[in-house]
Structure 1
Amino acid sequence: MAAHTARKSAPKKTLRGKIEHHIARKVNDEVFLTREFKKLGGESQVLRALREMVHEGRLVRLGYGIYGRARPSSLSGKTVLSSREGFLGVAQQALDKLGVEWEPTEAQSAYNEGRSTQVPVNPVVRVKGRFSRHLSYRNAELVLER
């Protein structure tokens, strides 16, 4: 009579744990799209987990299906984007991930090339082709030039 040996299996990861693991692995990414997580679980479960992470201050919702990496502010303790490039840099990374062709505006190019000392205040990009989503963070909204 063969004795059955109980095999200990690794604890099953929750969907939330899988999402957190995916985000932790993507060290250089500041932006995450919901479609990046669709292999991990159902859409409603993924959205619920992302909503919880936003509520906890681990992510910031930037637009429909677009989330940014967040951290607590060292000054106020409130949730802020963790990107060094700020909202404009995160918005540009989101456009890249969405496959939208864009280019800096003339004012950004002039500043970056040293032809102007005027720092562009509003986040603006020139979009080539069609794009109709709204990207925003707190009071800043990405302005699209055609």
Structure 2
Amino acid sequence: MTVQDRVARFLEQTSDVVILRAELRHLGSNAQVGRVLARLVRAKILIRVSVGAYAKTRVNKFTGELTPAATFEHIAWETFRKLGIDVSPGRAARDYNSRRTTQVPVQPVVNTGRRRITRQIVVGSRAIIYERGFIDD
């Protein structure tokens, strides 16, 4: 069984949308896994979200094109969860959720607390924006 077959079986069996490269480490050497992931990205079976983080795709029922298998926000939160990074919604989202304002937050902003994060999480033209500071609720 080739490394590509093992990776394909892993992708079929997992219900997660986000796949970390570290989760595939046991399936082959670093170079082999890297080549398989690059091949899957070129075939649009996976999309690269961040360094070492990939998201599954699915066929859009309206356009027939391959799109991410979940919303951008879900992909970002799952990536943070798998990486062990604690984040919370940004100030605008907290104000909207607590009904202090009726303005719907448009940009995906997360609060990292005191932690400084430089990891870029990008899907298409959307990217996570970080804000630092204490949560003042």
- TM-score tier, shorter chain, comes to 0.7 to 0.9
* 1:67 pairs with one of 54, 62, 80: 54
The Cα shift of 1:38 comes to 0.6
Q: TM-score, normalised by structure 1?
A: 0.81
Residue identity over aligned pairs, in percent, reads: 31
**What's 1:133 paired with?**
119
Larger radius of gyration: 1
1:53-92 maps to which residues of 2 (within 5 A)?
Answer: 53-83=40-70, 86-92=71-77
The Cα shift of 1:16 comes to 1.2
* 1:142 pairs with one of 122, 125, 128: 128
C-alpha distance 110-50 of structure 1, shift in aligned 2 (>3 A): same
**What's 1:9 paired with?**
none
CA distance in 1, matches of 2:97, 2:59: 29
RMSD of the TM alignment (CA)?
Answer: 1.5
Q: TM-score, normalised by structure 2?
A: 0.86
Paired amino acid for 1:50: L
Question: 5+ residue gaps in structure 1?
Answer: 1-12
Post-superposition CA distance 1:12-51 (Å, at most 9, x none): x211111122122221x11111011011111111111111
CA distance in 1, matches of 2:14, 2:102: 35
Question: 5+ residue gaps in structure 2?
Answer: 133-137
Aligned residue pair count:
131
Q: Give the SS at the match of 1:107.
A: helix
